[in-house]
Amino acid sequence: MLTMNSDQGAQAQKQNERQCPFGAGADPAFPPPRRNPTDPPPYYAELRESGKLAKARLWDGSEAWLITCYDDFRAVLGDRRFSADISRPGYPTVNAGMKEARGSYPSFITMDAPRHTQHRRMLTGEFAVKRMEAYRPRIVQIVNELIDAMERRGGPLDLVEHLALPIPSLAICELLGVPYEDHDFFQEQAKVMASHNTSVEQAKAASHALCEGYLRSLIRKKRADPQDDILSRLVVNQLCAGHLSEDELVSLSRLLLIAGHETTANMTAMGSLLLLQHREQWELLREDPGLLPQAVEEILRFLDPTHSGRRRVALEDVELRGETIRAGEGVIALSLSANRDQAAFPEPDTFDIRREARHHVAFGYGVHQCLGQPLARIELQTVFSELIRRLPGLRLAVGKETLRFKDEMFIYGIKELPVEW
Ligand code: HEM
């Protein structure tokens, strides 16, 4: 039997820690810890530099390969040998609650072709660039009304509560035809479903309340009295025409309602914090608002909130970086790491709104690439442009060491952002 001396043991342990910071005895929570809230966990940079693939141990003891480099991220997400189907054995779920919530209400984000293609096609026109550009003036109005209310109230106030969350929430409610006055209810259910700490029972209850207690009756109301909104059009053109079942429409509505706001709200709040921490870039935008579209791309690249990664399972054996990812093994493709890859972005850890960053992968890559990105871009461009124009003296109202971040959520962000001006 081979034995190790203490040096070899320590070395092996160090190697093991490098390969898997969530290894035996460690907290199995994924993702690994960050050193700085606006930067990804340092472990990802180590992995990229090593040039090797490594596995992480997940909440249920299973393992998944981590994809950290830009080229690998695009190769995996562009390859049909990797499936997004959550019902397949080996799919690396985020926790038991997500498995339950997404398993009982499957939507096209966790489906493969041909069902994914059919369902996505029902919505591509609704979120197309042209359609969203026509909606831009309404977003400008929403943002300005919220800033008016902030001015009337006066600072200090929490930017998350008064601006970052209401913008995407108001917009997606209006587009879908969901009453905004119910937002406390569905945001609460969404929050439960999107936490790493949620138990199966809690996920089941939240999912049931949102889908059965709320969305199903809303869909039936729209069937009886369709209006000019996305859900009504899905009812008339897809449900009544027999292309979607009511269960499928309930799941689809849940995806649209949830996907549309946590992501954008967290990007708005974290993006504001980032600009406040880099005052010279805030001033640059004040002097030259024409830089805004590219600044938003750089903010997306730099902050990328989807820190739980894109989850896939291999359908066949795939060779990558000298390793074989076996059929049935899970993969977690990390866009927040790919977006800091030196090979794709020179000086990747420098935040610079003048750089050309539009090839970032914060909206994913391949057939599942974010459907709502035209809407998200307009919301982010508008909020930063109006904040800088109307509240040029905006600043943090507390010491940055008191800020609390959403490490436990599937989408990373900041809990409160107290500001004054
Ligand atoms: C800054 C804001 C946003 C970010 C960072 C973001 C990010 C992403 C990412 C990374 C994916 C890919 C998922 C995968 O490959 O597994 C995705 C998919 C999706 N997103 Fe977004 N998203 C944002 C805003 C929105 C908005 C406003 C909507 C509006 C409804 C939306 C709707 C969707 C939908 C429906 C999908 C599924 C697409 C598919 O599977 O074909 N997202 N998003």
> In testing the pocket of ligand 1, which one of 263, 312, 380 has its CB within 8 Å of the most ligand atoms?
263
Angle subtended by helix axes 373-390 and 279-287, to nearest 10: 90
pLDDT reported for residue 30: 65
Nearest CA to ligand 1 atom 43: 370
pLDDT reported for residue 418: 98
Q: Side chain identity at 205, as an amino acid letter?
A: A
Nearest CA to ligand 1 atom 11: 370
SS3 at position 366 = helix
Report the alpha-carbon distance of residue 249 to residue 264 in Å, rounded.
23
pLDDT reported for residue 4: 29
Ligand 1: nearest atom to the Cα of 375: 27
pLDDT per residue as tens digits for the range 27-78: 345 688 899 999 999 999 999 999 999 999 888 889 999 999 999 999 999 9
pTM: 0.93
pLDDT reported for residue 31: 80
pLDDT reported for residue 370: 98
**Phi and psi of 155, rounded to 5°?**
-90, 170
pLDDT reported for residue 27: 39
Nearest CA to ligand 1 atom 32: 372
pLDDT reported for residue 25: 41
List, chain by chain if needed, residues with CB within 6 Å of any ligand 1 atom: 84, 108-109, 120, 168, 172, 255-256, 259-260, 263-264, 267, 305-306, 310, 362-364, 368, 370-372, 375-376
Ligand 1: nearest atom to the Cα of 411: 5
Domains of the chain: 36-420 (1.10.630.10)
Q: Which residue has the tokens 């830009």?
A: 70
Report the alpha-carbon distance of residue 264 to residue 318 in Å, rounded.
34
Report the alpha-carbon distance of residue 394 to residue 163 in Å, rounded.
13
Report the alpha-carbon distance of residue 82 to residue 315 in Å, rounded.
6
Residues of the chain with pLDDT under 70: 1-30, 101-102
Produce one character per residue of 193-210: b if its CB has 16 or more CB atoms within 10 Å, e if not: bbbbebeeebbbebbebb
Instruction: Look up residue 26 and give its DSSP letter.
Output: S
Tokens of 370: 């974010």
SS3 at position 283 = helix
Residue closest to 40 by CA, chosen among 415, 419, 418, 405: 405
pLDDT per residue as tens digits for the range 115-153: 999 999 999 999 999 999 999 999 999 999 999 999 999
pLDDT reported for residue 1: 21
Distance 141 CA to ligand 1 centre (A): 24
> In testing the pocket of ligand 1, which one of 80, 335, 370 has its CB within 8 Å of the most ligand atoms?
370
Q: Side chain identity at 354, as an amino acid letter?
A: R
pLDDT reported for residue 8: 36
Residue closest to 22 by CA, chosen among 5, 4, 47, 49: 47
Could you tell me which residues come within 8 angstroms of residue 204 by beta carbon, excluding any fewer than 6 positions away? 100, 101, 104
Q: Say if residues 375 and 127 touch (Cβ distance below 8 Å).
A: yes
Helix (H) or strand (E) holding 235: none
